[in-house]
Structure 1
């Protein structure tokens, strides 16, 4: 198809924001009625449940941590450009970050299983605190150190909070329904917090860039300090009783389970596709000189993910009933086709935005669904190590494509999207096999 170059700056219709907001509101408010009327098992919305204190504090901590993560992703590239860092240097810093996540981040999950996930979450906060303090001391600190620390923090963020929450859930003896609700609430909260971080960064920097360029670092410093206080004083943790020897024996016992390999590969493909999207969505939309308000499109994607996360309980706790593996199989196929369409040919900006919103709505259902499957197949004492190791292939693939695209210019953006689409199609195949091989385990699981 021909490429249409827009003569005006394109921005999304305000009706899209209203649709996403109203849809999320209706999905959340209508769920308790339908779920309680069709299923008498308690859910997170049943206020008669005991011990809600940890859930409230945990969600608050998770939201603060998500805002910290979002602040660096929103303001990081802009800050580097302000200090005169070239695009080639930015690619180098990205490579350093992903290499650090690959080499060191892959083992942090194993470490967190041994020392405790609350301590791992504190390490996450201290890494952000260190970077924010460094930026306050030095106007333009050594970027590769900041990139390495933030990459390690992102690696910890991907597994420690979830595993900590699941461990506390098991300690309190809550039902599986409550845990499933926490999974989608975490996805919902993370997406909402990312939008808040964008708004916060824009308000802090404002129009006086020279004076307020370090304002996001000040906000991250404050958020890290507050989060550390909440983690240390507001929450307890299940003591770690397993020795390194016992942990190693259990790890080798489960690492050769083919179902865990299938689940790990699916997680790898999702992580790779999400990373590819955030690196390529802006160059894809503004291709051929099209002028777009990217800052107005960014919340649409996160809003779509929020909407997708609210759909999750309708499938598994509400009136609709669908097996997790079947749901993920369909979602992987849909997202694979979305990236294939984008990779095959340029589209109108409106079409691209709708496709990308569909992609993120599916991601909003995928993330809590994969967390639900991990609860079924992966022992919680090994959960952090399994998740961190499953992210290693994704980090290796992203590092490889960054080198090929950013330095050697051997491949194009569309080729990278094709590989992400193929990964999602292969993940659909993994879910099909997991559905067959995990039938017996699922029957035992529903008896609990």
Structure 2
């Protein structure tokens, strides 16, 4: 493997270590011991859930190909997963507000374990069923756990600012360190121990089962819908909340634009780095991206620790940087012509793109805890899971369209489209900041009027 990969990895690792070791009291949020205990117990469960997810990701396509399915059939299976998340996942995820978030988290474990079991079959219909289960599980993973955390955090009376600490640490560990370890562990099972491509899915099921036991034994139940409205009324209430509060609508649009670009990037980075069938270490590059994400989440924890620095403000810059980073494949397209001989090492344009993609992944690391923070501020508690799953509908539609037409457009066009989406997200983020500042100002003016009225009351007696 070329030294360039090690240099990029080493630089990112050094930055992560330096970022963590250089934190002082101003960069950390002062919390209580009871909160730390609560936060650590949640992060353990969240990390187990993410391990169950990360173990599967690198081997899904590979497993299907070993069963003899072609690119078209595999594409259909992937589309089924995102389509299931959009249709069935939205319904099941929305039940979390009505039936309980703890119950929804347990349902996530069960459905994802069932999805893992189906990977032992080479029957197309069985694998399609597994993708449907996986789509439902994905919706629950990105809504039920966060909804349970926010509700439980508030129920226990913890400071609202402390949520940022949980979000940043959960992303740093669950979406960073756990992802790297899961990738290495999966490689150990498949390549070193030669247990076959199904082994990571069996390991994922074990992690999910262990996490489910902890949830059942230690978590309390909480609900978002105290009136136990029927599902249709719940959907109407969530839609009304989005339509009546521009902040929620903007937040949903921003999330869909960024995550849509992120999932598109997942499909595009491999052909972008090896357009001429260059030999690239996919697993090592994946670990590099996850390390960059850790760097971003570590930086985000610093930003969130300062209450004077608004999330709505700095995220505009993050979206601009992420937009610029995905323009690099377009710019490097003019640097050099593809060689006549296929294969070989990574090219100059590929090296520049790897740096740009690592920058984008660092932005992803900042995005996750920051969007979680904004969701905790703006989304009403009674319909939190329902609204969060509403946000995923345009995302899943977008990803299905991209998957269906992935061969119809040049890769530079796809990256250009993602860059435009991210720039639009920065514009919407600026609009969100303006509305939030305006409402905050009106709230402060109203508070001052109320206080002046109370001070004047004794004089009028």
- The alignment's TM-score, normalised by the length of structure 1, stands at 0.88
1:315 and 2:313 matched: no
1:193 and 2:175 matched: no
Over 3 Å counting, the alpha-carbon distance change for 1:80 and 1:252 in structure 2 is: closer
Q: What are the superposed Cα offsets for residues 391-437 of structure 1, whole Å, 9 maximum, x if unpaired?
A: 111111111122223xxx43222222222111111111111111111
Q: What are the superposed Cα offsets for residues 9-67 of structure 1, whole Å, 9 maximum, x if unpaired?
A: 6464424333323322332343343336xxxxx53xx4x43243332221111111101
Match of 1:340 among 327, 330, 355: 327
1:395 and 2:396 matched: yes
1:433 and 2:451 matched: no
Distance in 1 of aligned mates of 2:36 and 2:263: 34
How far residue 263 of structure 1 moved from its aligned partner, in angstroms, is 0.8
Look up the match of 2:378: 377
Distance in 2 of aligned mates of 1:336 and 1:182: 27
How far residue 239 of structure 1 moved from its aligned partner, in angstroms, is 4.6
1:362 and 2:398 matched: no
1:306 and 2:294 matched: yes
Distance in 1 of aligned mates of 2:91 and 2:110: 18
**Range with bigger deviation, 97-106 or 327-336:** 97-106
Structure number with larger C-alpha Rg: 2
Distance in 1 of aligned mates of 2:378 and 2:439: 8
Over 3 Å counting, the alpha-carbon distance change for 1:248 and 1:131 in structure 2 is: closer
1:10 touches 1:291 (CA, 8 Å); kept in 2? no
Match of 1:296 among 261, 269, 284: 284
**Range with bigger deviation, 199-208 or 326-335:** 199-208
Over 3 Å counting, the alpha-carbon distance change for 1:157 and 1:15 in structure 2 is: same
1:12 touches 1:296 (CA, 8 Å); kept in 2? no
- The alignment's TM-score, normalised by the length of structure 2, stands at 0.86
Number of equivalenced pairs:
424
Match of 1:33 among 20, 25, 39: 25
Distance in 2 of aligned mates of 1:295 and 1:239: 40
Look up the match of 1:243: 228
How far residue 78 of structure 1 moved from its aligned partner, in angstroms, is 1.5
2:326 touches 2:418 (CA, 8 Å); kept in 1? yes
Match of 2:201 among 217, 234, 244: 217
**Please, which runs of 5 or more residues in structure 1 have no aligned partner?**
1-8, 37-41
Distance in 2 of aligned mates of 1:16 and 1:289: 21
Distance in 1 of aligned mates of 2:145 and 2:384: 11
2:62 touches 2:197 (CA, 8 Å); kept in 1? no
Look up the match of 1:206: 191
Distance in 2 of aligned mates of 1:92 and 1:10: 35
Q: What are the superposed Cα offsets for residues 127-154 of structure 1, whole Å, 9 maximum, x if unpaired?
A: 1221233345x46672211112112211
Over 3 Å counting, the alpha-carbon distance change for 1:252 and 1:80 in structure 2 is: closer
**Please, which runs of 5 or more residues in structure 2 have no aligned partner?**
334-347, 448-461
How far residue 106 of structure 1 moved from its aligned partner, in angstroms, is 2.7
Distance in 2 of aligned mates of 1:21 and 1:401: 33
Distance in 2 of aligned mates of 1:266 and 1:33: 32
Over 3 Å counting, the alpha-carbon distance change for 1:343 and 1:242 in structure 2 is: farther
Look up the match of 1:22: 14
Distance in 1 of aligned mates of 2:254 and 2:172: 21
Distance in 1 of aligned mates of 2:114 and 2:3: 37
Match of 1:110 among 77, 86, 94: 94
Look up the match of 2:84: 100
